[in-house]
């Protein structure tokens, strides 16, 4: 069932424009309800519960029944938030996209923290790796995560030494992964910190963003073992997907720990030769790439990936997305 995002504001023009933007948006797991009159709002709240209520300037918060509302946010005329305010404040006079992202980010981060101690023995760890980096492999990882997130709670982690911007993030933390890696090496309780750094797209959470590729190269076997163990025992994701944009010590350990490994390439003679060499090197470290958990995926070159950054909605129109959706049952 979709969650309900409600806007209650007497400003008819603002409400109309906000609703128009919301309906154009393709990657939200919320249904929109808007109100400009007290009577219609009260009739709605008597029948339905609201996950997010955004209250306009001049609306009396005291008159709103709180028992059927999960989270309340107040629109304000000032971009400066009042310290110690009873309800989170959101600056009204900014683009609707920014208002929506700010409220949904806060809501989902709070929800994730509430769920953080829920144990799960069903977390599936998946690695997506290409011996030769290419745009199709990265988009393939995003597509897998986004498609599965339509039905499940998914975490995508981008371990890319040379990251590019893909997806539109609710949480614009450019060095989130770097910050997490430093924290991981010094602290045992890592999941709370990780969830504070996530970018959120409904059921899809994403951890990405590095200051320098060396930050990822600094990960060692002990780091990966701790990380995977914490993901398995202290999160409620159905699947955690690691996109491995490189071949280094931690990536080898991650493949040992993964339940499913998807190896992608574009099927050219050169890439087949590199794949053969990579498989031989893996055998030398005790990993047999002929195991059932290894799945090879040939991705055709996609001319639609000719510009960046790509938003999540733009990814859905690519050939990689269509090929991924057609073949995804191979990995269930």
Give the model's pLDDT for residue 112. Answer: 62
Average pLDDT, the chain: 84
Nearest partner of 129 among 321, 325, 295, 300, judged by Cα: 295
SS3 category, 171: coil
Q: CB of 12 within 8 A of CB of 40?
A: no
Classify residue 94 as left (phi > 0), alpha (psi -120 to 50) or beta. Answer: beta
- pLDDT-derived band at 114 (thresholds 50, 70, 90) equals low
For residues 156 and 136, what is the distance between their CA atoms, to the nearest angstrom? 16
Q: Which residue has the higher pLDDT, 303 or 238?
A: 238
Residue 310: give its domain's CATH number: 3.40.50.300
Give the model's pLDDT for residue 307. Answer: 67
Q: Does 48 share its domain with 130?
A: no
Predicted TM-score (pTM) of this structure:
0.65
CA-to-CA dists, residue 192 to 120, 189, 231, 242, angstroms: 16, 7, 11, 19
What is the Cα Rg of the chain in Å? 22
SS3 category, 238: coil
pLDDT tens for each residue of 246-288 = 888 888 889 999 999 999 888 889 988 998 998 898 888 888 8
Q: Among 61, 86, 114, which residue terminates a domain?
A: 114
Give the distance from CA 328 to its chain's centroid: 19
Asked whether residue 119 is domain-assigned, the answer is no
Q: Among 83, 114, 145, which residue terminates a domain?
A: 114
Give the model's pLDDT for residue 118. Answer: 46
Q: Does 209 share its domain with 300?
A: yes
pLDDT tens for each residue of 12-52 = 999 999 998 888 775 566 889 999 999 999 999 988 889 99
- Domains of the chain: total: 2
């Amino acid at each position: 069932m979709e969650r309900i995002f409600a806007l209650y504001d007497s400003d008819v023009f603002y409400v109309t424009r906000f609703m128009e933007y919301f309906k154009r948006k393709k990657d939200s797991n919320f249904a929109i309800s808007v109100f400009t009159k007290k009577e219609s709002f009260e009739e709605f709240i008597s029948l339905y519960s609201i996950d997010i209520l955004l209250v306009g300037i001049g609306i009396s918060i005291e008159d709103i029944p709180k028992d059927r509302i999960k989270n309340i946010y107040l629109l304000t005329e000032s971009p400066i938030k009042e310290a110690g305010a009873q309800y989170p404040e959101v600056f009204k006079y900014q683009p609707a996209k920014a208002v929506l992202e700010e409220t949904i980010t806060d809501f989902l981060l709070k929800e994730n923290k509430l769920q953080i101690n829920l144990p799960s023995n069903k977390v599936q760890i998946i690695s997506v790796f290409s011996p030769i980096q290419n745009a199709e492999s990265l988009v393939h990882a995003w597509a897998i995560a986004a498609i599965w997130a339509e039905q499940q709670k998914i975490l995508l982690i981008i371990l890319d030494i040379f990251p590019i911007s893909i997806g539109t993030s609710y949480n614009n933390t450019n060095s989130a992964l770097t910050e997490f890696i430093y924290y991981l090496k010094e602290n045992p309780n890592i999941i709370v910190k990780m969830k504070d750094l996530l970018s959120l797209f409904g059921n899809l959470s994403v951890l990405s963003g590095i200051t320098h590729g060396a930050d990822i190269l600094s990960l060692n076997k002990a780091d990966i073992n701790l990380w995977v163990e914490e993901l398995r025992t202290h999160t409620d994701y159905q699947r955690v997907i690691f996109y491995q944009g490189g071949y280094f010590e931690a990536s080898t350990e991650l493949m040992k720990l993964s339940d499913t490994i998807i190896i992608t390439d574009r099927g050219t003679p050169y890439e087949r030769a590199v794949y053969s060499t990579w498989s031989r090197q893996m055998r030398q470290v005790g990993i047999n790439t002929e195991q059932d958990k290894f799945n090879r995926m040939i991705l055709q070159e996609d001319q639609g990936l000719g510009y960046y950054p790509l938003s999540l909605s733009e990814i859905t129109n690519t050939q990689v997305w269509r090929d991924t959706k057609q073949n995804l049952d191979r990995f269930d």
